[in-house]
Every structure is written in C-alpha cells, then in structure tokens.
Amino acid sequence: MPTYTLTTPLYYVNDRAHLGSTYTTLACDAIARFQRLQGQSVCFITGCDEHGLKIQRTAEAAGLLPQAHCDAVSEGYRDLWRRWQISNDRFIRTTDPRHRQLVEAFFARVEASGDVVEGRQQGWYCVACEEFKDPSASDPEPSCAIHLRPLEWRDEVNLFFRLSRYQQAIESLIARPGFVAPPSRRREVENFVAGGLKDFSISRQNLTWGIPVPGHPGHTFYVWFDALLGYLSALLDPSDPIDLDLLASRGWPARVHVIGKDILRFHAVFWPAMLLSAGMEVPGSVFGHGFLTREGQKMGKSLGNVLDPEQLLERCGTDAVRWYLLRDIPFGEDGDFQQQRFTDLVNNDLANTIGNLLNRTSSMARKWFAGCVPPSQEGLSMEHPLAQAAERAREVAIASLEVFDFRRGAEAILQLAIEANGHLNDRAPWKLMKQEENRDSVAADLYAVLETCRLVAVLLTPLLPDLATRILAQLGLEPIPCGASGTAAIPPPWSEPLRWGGLRGGSPLPEPVPVMQRLELESPL
C-alpha cells in the first residue's frame, strides 16, 4: 500500500508560530491520525523555511547571525508542536546540509531539461511576501496590499524557470478533479493559469542567506524554489544517499499538500511544473484552507489582536482549541475566531454533552453494579437504538474525515452523544432503579450509554486524541495508538474498537473525574 504523505507548509522562521500556522498543523494532525487509524502507512511532514531576505533581515535586526536565529526559532516550532501533541513523522529545516544537496541535484535536472535561462528581472518586490507584486502603474509609492509596507524596486539579472513551457501540462493537471481543492480554490488557479504562465525568477543576486546556485556564481536560489523542495528532502531517511530516484519508494508523490489560500499558486502551479521539469511525479492534491480572522477583524501585529498559540494552549488546552477550529469552521472556508462562541461550544459540547454523560452514567453504574460496567445481553444487541445510532455516526464520521470535512465528522460524533443523553433522560434509570425488577433493563441502559461513550471516544481519537484518551481511561481502557509511526498498521488499529460491544460487562470502572474542564475565561485571550 503506498504511503499517505501529507504536508503542512514549511513555516517561515521570521517569527514565532501564530494561529494560522497552528490551524493548518492541527488539521493535518487530524488527517494523519485518521489515516493511521484507517490502516494507512502515513508520513506527516512539517518543518521550517529558513532562507531568504526576510529572514536575513529579521536576524540582523535581532543582532544575530541568520543561522543562530533560525536555530532558535525552528526549535520553538518543534517544541510548540510537541506541546500541541502534533504527530508529525518528519520535521524538515531548509538549512539542513542534506537539503542543500537535494536542491543542487534537483536544479541539475531542471537545468538539463533546458528549463533554466538567464533574464532580467525588473519589478516591485514585497520582502514580507517574498514575492514580486503587480502594483498599479499610477501609484508613485507602491505598497503591498497584505503587509501595507512599501515595495522595493528590483532590477537585476536572475535565472528564470521556463514556466511558460508548462502551460498545457498545468492546464490539464488543474482540470483533474480534486487536484486543487476545495472546488472554490480551483477557479482561482484556473483564472491565474488562463492569464498565461510567465517564466519566473528562481535566483537572486546580492542575497547571501540562501543556497548558492551551482555553476552560477553570485546567484543564490529564490527562497520559494528552495522551500518547496523541502517536501522532498523530508522524505529521505537520514541514512539515504541524496538520490531523487529513491523518493518514489520513500512516499513521493505526496497525497496532499495542505496550505493556506495565499500560497496556492506556488503549490498548484509553480511546484508541479518544477517537478515535471525534473521528471518527477506531481502531488495528488493541493488543499487550500481559508483564513482565520478574530472577532471579524484581520489578525495582525499592528492591530494587537494576534492570538498566540502558546497562550491559547496554556489557558485552554489542546482539546478545546482543536474542537473549536475543526468543528466550527468549514475546512476550506474563511473562519472567524469568536471567544464567546469558542467557550460556548467547548462547554456545551465537550464538558456538558460528552463529559457529563460519561460522568453521570459511570457514577450510576458504579453505585448500583458494584463499581463495574453492568453486564447486559440486551445492551450488547446490535438492535439496541444506541447501537444503531453509533453505526450511523461511524459511517458519517469516517466518510467525512476521508474528505477533510471535520465539521460534519465532529457533528456526527456529537450527535451520537446527544442521542445517548436523550436515551438516558427518556429511560430515567434513577427512577426505574427504585424497583428491583427493573434491574436488568437499567443494566441494559447503562451498558448501552457507557458503550456509546466508548465509541464517542474512539471516533474522537483523530480529532481530540487527548480527550479521547481521558474518556477511555474513565472506562478502564487503553488509548488507541495513532501517533507518529511511519509504518503500516494492518489491520486498521480502530477496526476492532469501532465495533459495538467492546466494553466488557463486569469490568471495573475507575473513580469518576470530569474529563473536560469548563472554560471560564475572564479576560480576552
């Protein structure tokens, strides 16, 4: 079975991680865990993009050598992802000496294909975007629409990649269903390509913080040319030689590159053309998610409303943030982070609907059934209404996660917990238990609700691995492994746990403790 390789963008180390990079990384983590649970061999790649003028200037401003600056910031990323419990299999840094060798090998192929030519690059450059811009000709002081900072004029001889030769190839590639996803993003790329692909410069002169271009003294690679190749370097094992032909057996092509919508063009147009030029396979899909705003406003340092992932993690925990971002924002569309809605959803869905359900059911079971899961043939039956509800939830959740529809998947799981709450309230075992002859039917009710809680936890595993683990522990069960592995797990690790009836009647239930703390945020995040 081919490896399911997926990537986050390689984050610039000009600054620490922000909510945008955290969002992409959390979503990729859910995909990676889900695919592992489905029995796929997964290679989940993230890392840092460390070259270019922007980073050189940031380091200078901090009075550091670029390498020292990159070491510190990339270590910060690595550490942050560890604390968010991100299950990446690889972490690539583009300042890794092996990456440099790979860039050289790749460039040699592109040059041999006749796709590198010298040309004069004139234009307005945004250092923060690391991209040439097309400001209106009448503007005497052009500035970047995203960064609101003045553009810099460039006029130099650069090496160009002959993208224009790939017009047809790229047109047919983006016509492939699912290559650019979601469909709304595809139109954007189609429009860009329909405008006619122009050669783009892949080297810079007078830039020291970059990889020197072999055979072209004075040139260093344009940061994007080098950065995209990080996806390939990441796949090679440390003991592998730098051999592009090995990549096919190491997980290339990637199944999906998950990115923000602002860097779609690089991934869906420039990157596949570069790969075709080097005689390599193109990725299966490029998924461009939307942008997060905060209380309706763009997040920015100048506005002072940036959400810091470190603080968010410390104050709210990984489950709360994962739940809100994945359950509330349709993946692919823009989303707005609203503190009130965030706390409401976390408290209603996780603390009340799921957490309290488990807590009260387990307390009743312990009280009336000698601290154990009540044994019940009736509860075990596939005909039980909750068994049927669980079956439906499982189908919807799996089908949704397969296509990155986290929202629908999360809602299906939540709906299952809502049905279990409804069942418990309708049956009112606390009343039934007053008559001894109802003992069997109370056992059936409690068994079925506890079993539903178990299945809720199993289904939540890819989305909220930490909460899932705590729920399972409350049922006396081990978590289902879905962390970084790199190896195929056959049969799928969750195929058995997903079956109704996994909870054993008579097994001891630990002392109930709340699995999810309510969020009580007194000040803005």
Counting residues that bind ligand MSP (by CB under 6 A) gives: 19
Please list the helix, strand and coil fractions of the chain in percent, rounded to the nearest 5, in that order: 50, 15, 35
Q: Binding pattern to ligand MSP, positions 230-259, x when CB under 6 A?
A: x----------------------------x
Contact 142, 135 (CB under 8 A): yes
From 98, 72, 82, select the one nearest 14 (Cα to Cα): 72
Please say which residue, 11 or 500, places its beta carbon nearer to ligand MSP.
11
Q: Return d(Cα 125, Cα 152) in angstroms, integer.
A: 5
Determine how many CB atoms are found less than 10 A away from the CB of residue 495: 12
Residue 6 phi, psi (nearest 5): -135, 150
Determine how many CB atoms are found less than 10 A away from the CB of residue 1: 8
Please say which residue, 197 or 259, places its beta carbon nearer to ligand MSP.
259
Structure tokens at 80: 């942050």
Please say which residue, 26 or 453, places its beta carbon nearer to ligand MSP.
26
Q: Which stretch binds ligand MSP (CB under 6 A): 4-12, 207-215, 239-247, 482-490?
A: 4-12
Query: At its nearest, how many Å lie between ligand MSP and the CB of residue 299?
Result: 5
The reply on whether position 23 binds ligand MSP by CB under 6 A is yes
Residues 34-53 that bind ligand MSP (CB under 6 A): 49
Look at strands 4-12 and 256-260 and give their pairing.
Answer: parallel
Q: Which of 37, 43, 173, 228 binds ligand MSP (CB under 6 A)?
A: 228
Taking phi over 0 as left and psi of -120 to 50 as alpha, with beta for the rest, 338 belongs to beta
Please say which residue, 20 or 493, places its beta carbon nearer to ligand MSP.
20
Query: At its nearest, how many Å lie between ligand MSP and the CB of residue 269?
Result: 14
Q: Which stretch binds ligand MSP (CB under 6 A): 222-230, 276-284, 407-415, 479-487?
A: 222-230
The most distant pair of C-alpha atoms in the chain lies apart, rounded to whole Å, by 90
> Cα separations (Å) of 440 from 266, 362, 427, 444, 500?
63, 17, 13, 6, 19
The reply on whether position 9 binds ligand MSP by CB under 6 A is yes
Query: At its nearest, how many Å lie between ligand MSP and the CB of residue 73?
Result: 11
Please say which residue, 224 or 447, places its beta carbon nearer to ligand MSP.
224
Match 């709340």 to its residue by tokens: 514
Q: Binding pattern to ligand MSP, positions 263-282, x when CB under 6 A?
A: x-------------------
Query: At its nearest, how many Å lie between ligand MSP and the CB of residue 98?
Result: 17
Match 């309230």 to its residue by tokens: 425
Can you name the residues that pair with 156 across neighbouring β-strands?
Answer: 121
Q: Which of 42, 299, 365, 446 binds ligand MSP (CB under 6 A)?
A: 299
The reply on whether position 188 binds ligand MSP by CB under 6 A is no
Q: Which of 6, 53, 73, 227 binds ligand MSP (CB under 6 A)?
A: 227
3 state DSSP class of 35: helix
Match 């790969």 to its residue by tokens: 275
The reply on whether position 86 binds ligand MSP by CB under 6 A is no
The reply on whether position 10 binds ligand MSP by CB under 6 A is yes
The reply on whether position 465 binds ligand MSP by CB under 6 A is no
DSSP state of 517: P
The reply on whether position 376 binds ligand MSP by CB under 6 A is no
Give the angle subtended at the CA of 131 by the CAs of 94 and 23, to the nearest 5°: 60
Q: Which of 124, 132, 291, 368 binds ligand MSP (CB under 6 A)?
A: 291
Contact 149, 190 (CB under 8 A): no
Structure tokens at 409: 């998947």
Please say which residue, 167 or 293, places its beta carbon nearer to ligand MSP.
293
Q: Return d(Cα 49, Cα 378) in angstroms, integer.
A: 57
Q: Which of 260, 375, 486, 492 binds ligand MSP (CB under 6 A)?
A: 260
With CB atoms as reference, the residue minimizing the distance to ligand MSP is: 260
Determine how many CB atoms are found less than 10 A away from the CB of residue 484: 16
- Give the residues lining the site for ligand MSP (CB under 6 A): 9-12, 20-21, 23-24, 49, 227-228, 230, 259-260, 262-263, 291-292, 299
